[in-house]
Amino acid sequence: MKPIVLSIALAGGALLAAAAPAPAPAPLQDKTLVAWVSPANLSQKAGSVLTLDDGDSHFDGIVFAELSPRRWMPGSEGFNRTPKQQAEWAEETADARTVVQVALVHQGREVTLYREGRAYARHTLASPPPRFGPRATVLFGRRHLEAGDPENSFTGRILDARIYSQALTAEAIAALKPGQAGGPAPWAWWSFADEGLREKTGRFTGIELVGEVRLEGGSLVLKGKGASVITTCPGDPGEKRAPAPKAWSFSGPVPEEAVRSARLLRERLLADPYRPGYHFCVPEDMGMPGDPNGAFYYQGRYHLMYLYNRSGAGFCWGHISSQDLVHWRQHPDAIGPGDGDEGCFSGGAFVDDDGTAYLSYWMLWGARGIGLAKSTGPRFDLWQKTAANPVIRSTEWGVTEALNPDGSKFYYGSADPSNIWKKDGRYHMLTGNLLVLNKIGRAAEAPLSEQGDRLYLFASDDLKTWQYRGVFYERNPQWTERSEDNMCPSFLPLPATADGGPPSGKHLLLFISHNRGCQYYVGDYRQDRFHPDHHGRMTWVDSTFFAPEALVDARGRQIMWAWLVDNPPGEKEKGWSGVYGLPRTLWLGADGTLRMRPVPELETLRGPGKTWPAIPLASGESRVLEGVAGTSCELRLEIKPGTGGGCGVKVRAAPDGGEETLLYFDAGARQLVFDSTRSGVQGRPAVERAPLALAAGEPLTLRIFVDQSVVEVFANDRQAICRRVYPTRSDSTGVSLFATGAGARFEKTQAWEMAPANPY
């Protein structure tokens, strides 16, 4: 990718070292403006890459295509310093991947525009230009402070932008490199790759962001339609603007402000009453969406990726690893925007025979497709996107149009890839169908084969070229509705026991539909097709339990995580968002249905426990469990339920019952129930009911985990419900047993305080 550099030189004013702060810039007359830019398109008009504005209707800037299409020009108020005859100037030819250097130089009455260090246009002013200062404003995007039409703003990327207090020569301009010091010290300097929006000299400390502005791939990205960055000096008499964020690099000193802010953020998160202590949550920033992704096991460590919207960058995959499934170590982000995409959505992971790990992901945005990234151990800290990306190409957002042998069109999904697996020496991968369903499957007259959930199978011999192999399974309309899609798929062999061991011979397909949440199929995998013989759900009233991700470890255990989609207002202001359910081990029951329980490693977090002997409760009776840590605990209940009514436990309960969360077995309805209608005013209050039938004489065993805002209940290794609750009262910490209807006998009740595992 060849850089394009446009420079504008303006002379006058004293030079200032790049690192020396100056509270008020000296006035400028002779000067040079330089920027390294990549226009998103060449049809845009009248936006500025870099403008110096005195706040009194005077400005000079590097403007693109205001008077003539595809041409750079020196912008100025009312074209006072701009030639209007530009037909002989060269048209810009750079595409969106090409970076160009552009510079504008004012020296006395001489104005010269440079492109790539060569004179692009030159003219002489009739009178000297105005002096800029002492309270100048610098803009990126729009031409000047009073610019009216929001369409007239630059669209594209800016890598580096500088202003010099003297007129640089063509040789000096050509010698400049983005992100590197050299030559005269800039009067103002923005190096977006290593300082973000912070101006290096300290002159410009106020900042305002307008429209769609972000930092991505080492560049300032402006999305047009008025998108702008406006920076000001200390004491600017105009409108107030927030201090510029103190972005900093790995190589430079860590600012004192960054250390203080990091400590304050940790302390604030530790004090957050809704932030879990032992359920994984995104360390900071916005886990919305917050899918678990890319889970794999290698040489004693569990690796897990988490999708989040990284501030200033875009959708990235965070990366954590653990030896015990409880305490997690943070790694550098695995993948994010760049190298042919603008961000990364959901996908899976796979470790090949040679120990190379691969991530399969959905490339953002538009008609991208499926991408792969690879890394080698033991840490897997550096991931490289493959040159073959997209390995499955979209023809539109999440959809690929293809032709049958007879020339007719058909469509398959090119979104949300599954984990890759190897069978008979070939690589295989699945893609989801939401966008195909939206395109052709929701219409009333849609063919049955296009309605509802489905997946598409691909195979490859080299991980570069992938062949479409057809629809992976046939949907049973008795199990799922025509409105449901299949996304975030995970396809792995299902072990026969909770402790792993040899595969059972069955496979488990975990997935979500966006309207109904997490669900699964158990079935046979043969001849490149999946044949489900059992279907189940992991959420019933809404889509709170979402985006499953699973792996198989060295013991043969299949372990899964899911994201809890519950995002109350104000999450961004709290500095974090995104919580996972506890890791579950999954296996095949003797009756051919799925079994599940929390991984036993969680027991290492148990503190001192309490045990109660048998507690019989008549209908309407309850019993408070004294001394239980009601905001962070595990409960284990062995119950002999009555023939009707309900029996269970209240958690996060206020003494007067004003707030409480009910977890119980409804014997008459044969359901496990999670009632959060009195759990607080935020979140998703609901009554969620999961089918649970007990055999004659079978006791009810409940395992319940309370962790600040997360509550999970597991029943008899066959069913589980997980939701978040948001009590508002500080005394909503009580735990009590209760029974309705025919009463119940709590044969054994145990409770443990759970130690936090998250670092903060």
pLDDT tens, position by position, 732-752? 999 999 999 989 999 999 999
pLDDT for 259 equals: 84
Q: How far apart are CA 543 and CA 513, in angstroms?
A: 8
pLDDT for 547 equals: 98
Predicted confidence (pLDDT) per residue in 579-613, tens digit: 999 999 999 999 999 999 999 999 999 999 999 99
State yes or no: pLDDT of 223 exceeds 50. yes
pLDDT for 594 equals: 98
Give me the residue label for tokens 């899918």. Answer: 291
Q: How far apart are CA 219 and CA 390, in angstroms?
A: 23
Q: How far apart are CA 453 and CA 476, in angstroms?
A: 9
Q: How far apart are CA 482 and CA 448, in angstroms?
A: 8
State yes or no: pLDDT of 487 exceeds 80. yes
Domain assignments of the chain as residue spans, ordered by start = 4-243, 285-588, 606-754
Percent of the chain scoring above 90 in pLDDT: 75
User: 472 forms bridges with which residues in the sheet?
Assistant: none
> Cα separations (Å) of 605 from 281, 517, 757, 760?
17, 29, 8, 16
In the predicted model, what is the mean pLDDT of residues 31-45? 94
Does the fold of domain 606-754 match that of domain 4-243? yes
Q: Position 131: which residue type? A: R
Q: How far apart are CA 522 and CA 542, in angstroms?
A: 22
Three-class DSSP category at 300: coil
DSSP code per residue over 607-644:
EEEEEE--EEE-TT-EEE-TT--TTEEEEEEEEEE-SS
pLDDT for 247 equals: 58
Give me the residue label for tokens 């939401």. Answer: 434
| CATH number among 3.10.450.50, 2.50.20.10, 3.40.50.740, 2.60.120.560, domain 606-754 | 2.60.120.560
Predicted confidence (pLDDT) per residue in 531-569, tens digit: 999 999 999 999 999 999 999 999 999 999 999 998 888
Percent of the chain scoring above 70 in pLDDT: 93
Q: Token digits for 57?
A: 């209707």
State yes or no: pLDDT of 170 exceeds 50. yes
Q: Is-above-0.75 flag for pTM? A: no
Band of residue 18 on the pLDDT scale cut at 50, 70, 90: very low
pLDDT for 134 equals: 63
Q: How far apart are CA 80 and CA 85, in angstroms?
A: 13
State yes or no: pLDDT of 665 exceeds 70. yes
Three-class DSSP category at 220: strand
Q: Token digits for 402?
A: 């293809």
**What b/e sequence results for 210-238 when a residue is b if at least 16 CB atoms lie within 10 Å of its CB, and e otherwise?**
bbebbbbbbbbbbebebbbbbbbbeebee
Q: Burial level of 698, CB count in 10 A (0-12/13-18/19+)?
A: exposed
Answer yes or no: are the C-beta atoms of 4 and 99 closer than 8 Å. Answer: yes
Band of residue 26 on the pLDDT scale cut at 50, 70, 90: low
State yes or no: pLDDT of 44 exceeds 50. yes
Q: Burial level of 250, CB count in 10 A (0-12/13-18/19+)?
A: exposed
Q: How far apart are CA 65 and CA 82, in angstroms?
A: 12
Q: How far apart are CA 222 and CA 249, in angstroms?
A: 22
Length of the chain: 760
Q: How far apart are CA 479 and CA 150, in angstroms?
A: 51
State yes or no: pLDDT of 680 exceeds 80. yes
In the predicted model, what is the mean pLDDT of residues 67-87? 88
State yes or no: pLDDT of 9 exceeds 70. no
pLDDT for 532 equals: 98
pLDDT for 592 equals: 96
Between the two ends of the chain, the Cα-to-Cα distance in Å is 42
Three-class DSSP category at 566: coil
Q: What angle do CA 544, 306, 372 make, to 5 degrees?
A: 120
State yes or no: pLDDT of 45 exceeds 50. yes
DSSP code per residue over 345-377:
EEEEEEE-TTS-EEEEEEE-SSS-EEEEEEE-T
DSSP code per residue over 112-152:
EEEETTEEEEEEE-SSPPPPB-SS-EEEEEBSSTT---TT-
Which fold, 285-588?
A: Tachylectin-2; Chain A (2.115.10)
Band of residue 495 on the pLDDT scale cut at 50, 70, 90: very high
State yes or no: pLDDT of 250 exceeds 70. no
Q: How far apart are CA 600 and CA 657, in angstroms?
A: 33
Helices and strands (DSSP H and E) totals, the chain: 5, 54
In the predicted model, what is the mean pLDDT of residues 139-159? 83
Answer yes or no: are the C-beta atoms of 631 and 706 closer than 8 Å. Answer: yes
Band of residue 238 on the pLDDT scale cut at 50, 70, 90: very low
**Residue 475: Cβ within 10 Å count:** 22
Which fold, 4-243?
A: Jelly Rolls (2.60.120)
Largest CA distance in the chain: 101
Q: How far apart are CA 37 and CA 221, in angstroms?
A: 10
Residue 533 parent element (H or E) = strand 529-537
State yes or no: pLDDT of 239 exceeds 50. no
**Residue 270: Cβ within 10 Å count:** 13
In the predicted model, what is the mean pLDDT of residues 677-695? 95
Q: What angle do CA 227, 230, 233 make, to 5 degrees?
A: 175
Q: How far apart are CA 662 and CA 648, in angstroms?
A: 8
State yes or no: pLDDT of 467 exceeds 80. yes
pLDDT for 299 equals: 97
Give me the residue label for tokens 């039938």. Answer: 693
Predicted confidence (pLDDT) per residue in 533-542, tens digit: 999 999 999 9
In the predicted model, what is the mean pLDDT of residues 417-428? 97
Which region among 175-184, 326-335, 444-453 has the lowest average model confidence (pLDDT)?
175-184
DSSP 8-state class, residue 99? -
Phi then psi for 572, rounded to 5 degrees? -60, -40
